[in-house]
């Protein structure tokens, strides 16, 4: 369900301290085994495009990554690998491993994947406006005409407290470790954005090359 918000909520959201975590811990199987976040687009790694899009919107940025750590660290941002007990468990493992290292004064954590270089400039503000409009809301995600994008979500820090226990339970029961499955029962809403391309995932080399050609032709 899409959210509507008030002017009061906008003021509250503007004052909020938001941190961002770029999820780059995947295996890049659809990229031919290449580290997706380090693939070049217009001469810069994908993850750097994402960081540049987020930098004016948030107070801090970190990267969740499990391979090629020196290359990520060279970008000048904190790089946090998955904790040993969560290795191989996907994006939730990256979030759970990052949680203890987040600044203690954050009001919310924005998580985004490393292969979304066209994120809109009002992403954090619009998600925060929706999140802080309702005190009982734990998370909001972006949505477009193509559906919900749970990998692009703004989370309250309190939501992260139970994530280790959730991962352990799902791991023992071989349950669903997707972001969507975790968020659905936990006070989750979406905010609709018109520009679907801004949220497109570059899952393979063909998509990456296609976007590069589009950007070069502008």
195 is in an annotated binding site: no
211 is in an annotated binding site: no
Rounded to an integer, the average pLDDT of 27-32 is 60
Task: State the pLDDT at residue 13.
Answer: 62
Is residue 118 within 8 A of residue 50, CB to CB? The reply is: no
Domain ranges of the chain: 7-216
CATH class of 7-216: alpha beta
Is residue 167 within 8 A of residue 92, CB to CB? The reply is: yes
Rounded to an integer, the average pLDDT of 192-214 is 89
Sign of CA dihedral 173, 179, 180, 183: positive
Question: Picking from 8-12, 77-81, 150-154, 197-201, which range would have the lowest pLDDT averaged per residue?
Answer: 8-12
Task: State the pLDDT at residue 165.
Answer: 93
82 is in an annotated binding site: yes
Report the Cα 106 to chain-centroid distance in Å.
16
Bridge partners (DSSP) of residue 2 are 190
Task: State the pLDDT at residue 4.
Answer: 39
How far apart CA 131 and CA 191 sit, in angstroms, is 9
Task: State the pLDDT at residue 10.
Answer: 42
Task: State the pLDDT at residue 204.
Answer: 85
Q: Is the pLDDT of residue 7 over 70?
A: no
105 is in an annotated binding site: no
Q: Dihedral through CA 69, CA 28, CA 82, CA 89, nearest 10?
A: -170
**Cα diameter, the chain:** 50
Task: State the pLDDT at residue 157.
Answer: 96
Cβ count near 34 (within 10 Å): 16
Task: State the pLDDT at residue 5.
Answer: 38
């Amino acid at each position: 369900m899409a959210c509507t918000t008030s002017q009061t909520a906008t003021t509250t959201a503007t004052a909020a301290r938001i941190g961002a975590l770029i999820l780059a811990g995947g295996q890049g199987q659809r990229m031919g085994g290449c580290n997706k976040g380090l693939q070049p687009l217009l001469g810069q790694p994908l993850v750097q495009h994402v960081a540049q899009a987020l930098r004016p919107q948030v107070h801090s940025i970190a990267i969740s990554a499990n391979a090629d750590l020196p290359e990520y660290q060279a970008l000048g941002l904190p790089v946090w690998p998955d904790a040993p007990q969560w290795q191989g468990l996907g994006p939730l493992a990256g979030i759970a491993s990052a949680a203890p290292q987040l600044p203690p004064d954050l009001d919310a954590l924005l998580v985004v994947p490393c292969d979304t270089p066209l994120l809109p400039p009002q992403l954090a503000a619009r998600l925060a406006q929706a999140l802080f409009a309702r005190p009982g809301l734990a998370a909001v995600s972006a949505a477009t005409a193509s559906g919900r994008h749970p990998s692009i979500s703004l989370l309250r820090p309190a939501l992260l407290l139970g994530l280790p226990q959730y991962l352990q339970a799902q791991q023992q029961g071989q349950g669903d470790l997707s972001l969507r499955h975790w968020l659905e029962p936990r006070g989750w809403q979406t905010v609709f954005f018109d520009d679907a391309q801004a949220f497109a995932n570059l899952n393979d080399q063909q998509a990456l090359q296609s976007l590069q050609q589009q950007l070069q032709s502008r």
